[in-house]
Structure 1
Amino acid sequence: MKNIFRLLLVIFAASITTTSAQVTVKDTTLKVAVKDTTLKPTLDTARYDSLMARMGNGDKRWPVKNAPYPRPGAILPFNRIVAYYGNMYSKNMGVLGQYEPVEMRRRLMAEVKAWQAADTLTPVIPALHYICVTAQADAGANKLYNLRMPFSQIDKAIEMAKPINALVFLDIQVGYSTVQTELPRLEKYLKMPNVHFGIDPEFSMKEGSVPGKRIGTFDAADINYVSDYLSKLCIKYNLPPKIFVVHRFTKRMVTNYQDIKLRDNVQFVMDMDGWGPPELKKGTYKYFVQGEPVQFTGFKLFYKNDIKNAPNRMLTPKEVLSLKPAPLYIQYQ
């Protein structure tokens, strides 16, 4: 015991350096590494694969091969989204701007209930799809043939979504502008976990036409810029995957689709945006969405335009769900 005590004194003395001015004690504390045992969210890949196969409805092109698994927190394919589309300044741009918030939410939730009944295996989430940059027939002060909504209106859309826990999509119609110019302006909103994004090639006037006179276009390069930007936002702010919707009803609206890059924290939806009788809509979906597979699909239903000419009617949820692949994003205008 005495020998042990002397040894401890020697060790302690060796750890002290003395001068006439100060005494310095070296730190001989033992450092112990402790592993982080916090449970991190994981993706159920077996369930994901099963749901993706179900989505394909027997079409062997779907799901696409070699697509990355999404990061944990992904909404698709675990859920279906049913959205109301429009702008609060215009009753003609969609159902979102046609009713007061309480009535609009009531109608939206009735549609959510109908889709839930049509497919009881897939939970349905409501969403507001708000056009925050609208194409214009006049050049305007910025000479870009678009009108950017004030942030107060975007704030209003986000507040309108809260009572029903709805997702919010911010949609842009760039006119003479570009996604590279318009997207960064919205970062303050897109860093919110429940806010997602959409672009409309119809109003991207690369050839200099006035919006509404010709149908516009986006290339895979434009789409890849957006998905890369959204991906970096997810990393920067530690967000679950973002959903990115691209509207389409002609071949030229999206060029070089095969070059679209898929990312693990961005879920890409090609949304069939055409209106008309059931067979025309199904044909548009077949050739421009089903026939050019990317990742997920959407389908738009028009309360007015789909029934414009008698005896036209709107497709039912069951009919839409019979499409190959089955759309996981449904939009009402």
Structure 2
Amino acid sequence: MDKLKAMDTFVRIVDAGSLSAAAAGAGQSLTAVVRSLAALEQALGARLLNRTTRRIALTDEGRVYLERCRRILAEVDDADAALSERQQQPSGRLTLTAPVMFGSLHLAPVLAHFLQLHPGLRVDLLLVDRVVDLLEEGLDLALRIGTLPDSSLVARPLGSCRRVLCASPDWLAAHGPAPEHPSALAGCRAVRAGGLDGGGDWLFSRGAGAPVRVAPQTVFSSNQVEAALQACRRGVGCGRFLSYQVRDDLAAGRLLRLLPDWEPEAVAVQWLFPHSRLLSLRVRAFVDWATPRLAERLSERVA
């Protein structure tokens, strides 16, 4: 049995979601894929996949072995790339994920430019406002905003963004002048966008003073930022958003910034990798090229 080929087949099965799909993607017969998996499991003395006629699922042993296989195959790819033109010209498939709004506004244009420079590259961009398991979903890279819940991932700083409290001119006209202290917002009608503003109290801080906690009344919440922004623009309530999400609205006067001197600490924006020392050339090349361009976008001042 060719162990590396069997490992590759195993990873293909997991990524494809079925034995037949893996066989089609690899240009092999279904029989060959089944035999390869069976031989690998026999050699390891462990079942890697529980499979029925409709679906497959990783066993605990399979989950651990999958991560090791990805590492080994990535090392083999890197060794091959060192002796090929791929070391000078990124190529192949780059898979990454990012939050929906940041990905649409900033990451997608940067990716399009990078693809123009490297026509041998293919990109799969997954935009979701949830934490994606990079290993489970076979992704090379993630852009994440906020605290990192998984310490097993390797992070590289990209920049930061602020949490900005906003309201529409109509809301301010109906609820009096702009507040000068966070306490004026106690019980105010609030619009929520999930993630970093999931539904708890709002914390404000200024200088070395003690933080001020305010409990707003949530009247509208959504897991999609744009929906929450629409409600805020229409005067449903005030809302706290990340600076890049409201930059255009603030510049156009559709929203007004409240209590800028009381904004909490900036939120970190970071690249995340499964394994830093096993990054493929295409991942390293993209991150090195994209980081200063995205950092510049993040550093643009909020009105």
Higher relative contact order (CA 8 A, sep 6+): 2
Question: Is the TM-score greater than 0.5?
Answer: no
For the pair shown, the structure with the greater C-alpha radius of gyration is: 1
Q: TM-score, normalised by structure 2?
A: 0.24
Q: Calculate the TM-score normalised by the size of structure 1.
A: 0.22
